[in-house]
A and B are shown apart, each in its own frame.
Chain A
Amino acid sequence: MGKKVMFYPGCTLKGVAKNLEDSTVESARVLGYDFIELPGWTCCGAVYGLAQDSVKFTIANVRNLIKAQNYGKEIGDNRLIAVCSMCYNNLRRAHIDVMKNKDKLKTLDLFMDEEANYEGNINVLHYLQFLKNDVGFDNIKKMVKKPLKGLKVAPYYGCLLLRPEEISIDDREDPHILEDLLQLLGAEVVDYPLKNECCGSYHTVDKKEIVGERTYKLVSVAKDMGADVIATSCPLCFFNLDKRQEIAKKKHSEFEHMPIVYFTQLMAIAFGLTSQDVLHFDKHYISPEEVLKKWL
């Protein structure tokens, strides 16, 4: 048994992004950690509310933080790990928001009168931060069995790991935490100037043509830079960059498809975890199997 740490999966990982969930939990296991799903978690709401006069988008997040506070005391650990960029962003922003605006916290504590009050000591971390600062990149390197030598990866952060500033997991304009990890897995990281540019996000529901254009640009530039795959950590970025290639191709006949992967899948493969029970390539619109077959 590894060391117990709380994990917040989020609703998308429980279904369409099973490939992200399993590769996260199983790669953590290799590193000696037991990711325990936060008991009783609820969906975070995906986007953080920006209206200053309302707390309606903060409630669910604070409720989750309180659940983490309770369970954290049981296992003696205050860290809450998320891997979906939006979950991370939401939980972290909510924590910072109520710590800065005590009146909001008071309103919420009064509203949620059956729960304990939030004491403010939950440390929300993105999996990448946890890997770098808590596990240590050196320890990750030791577990690499199949270095991804020759695989050219474009690292994609998107928005919500880096913005707004207060939640950024690295330098917001020139991050390299993902590059550093990919490199120690043995992969070749290509310079990707659009790594922190938005994919079009939730417009994929009602304005998918716009997202198709964003995808066209993001994937084409990655291709121009020599990448074989784009690595991301967000199920919405993933869906847009993967599935919306269909629209990009329809509109631009010269467009070439490229598989999209989660960085956690690459880590799992480098650790020798190549079972489809972990990787779930059936969740991809563009299968990465061909590009990755050397290591599978």
Chain B
Amino acid sequence: MKYTIKKDPHEDERVQKIIEISGQNIFSCYQCGRCSSGCPMAEFMDVLPNQVFMFLQEGDVDTLLNAKTPWICAACFTCTVRCPVGLDLAAVMEAIRELQLRKNYDYVDPYKVDEREELPPIAMVSNFRKFTP
């Protein structure tokens, strides 16, 4: 994965929006990697949890908006409770999803879900809440 400083994140509207939605100071991440080492979904991600902060600090929101990672995170809060500086990465992942969902984007189309009869309500309610506007 290549890193290039795209834009001063303090002047990037979308970075500021992510900070506002998540309530997290993304600049306090110092890349220790603890979030990624304990993440149960990391093996399925294209951008690792710690790299999310790296891209944000470099003002590269496009990479994050095009990444699978925010949609692979399961909001299990393992990183949240283990981050040594107390960052809530699960909330940052949600903020990145929200940037897209708030434009009326459906990541999952409820009408196209197969085996709807066999899925418990808890699965569908939680999925649609995370993946539809």
Q: Is B74 a contact of A239 with CB atoms below 8 Å? A: no
Q: Is A197 a contact of B40 with CB atoms below 8 Å? A: yes
Contacts of B76 in A (CB 8 A): 159, 163, 198, 201
A-facing residues in B63-109 (Cβ within 8 Å): 72, 74-78, 80-81, 88, 90-91, 94-95, 98, 108
Q: Does A172 sit at the interface, judged by CB under 8 A? A: yes
Q: Is B74 a contact of A203 with CB atoms below 8 Å? A: yes
Q: Does B1 sit at the interface, judged by CB under 8 A? A: no
Q: Is B121 a contact of A214 with CB atoms below 8 Å? A: no
Q: DSSP class of B's interface residues: helix, strand, loop or mixed?
A: helix
- How distant is the Cα of A11 from the Cα of B124 in the complex, in angstroms? 12
Mark interface residues in B6-43 (1 if CB within 8 Å of A CB, else 0).
00000000000000111100000000000000001100
Contact of A86 among B77, B80, B122 (CB under 8 A): B122
Identify 11 new A-B residue pairs, CB closer than 8 A, beyond the known A15-B121, A17-B120, A202-B126.
A47-B125, A47-B126, A52-B22, A84-B122, A159-B76, A163-B76, A163-B80, A164-B80, A197-B40, A201-B76, A243-B118
List residues of A whose CB falls within 8 A of some B CB. 10-12, 15-17, 43, 45-47, 49-53, 57, 84, 86, 159, 163-165, 172, 197-198, 200-207, 210, 214, 235-236, 239, 243
List residues of B whose CB falls within 8 A of some A CB. 20-23, 40-41, 44, 72, 74-78, 80-81, 88, 90-91, 94-95, 98, 108, 113, 118-127, 129-131
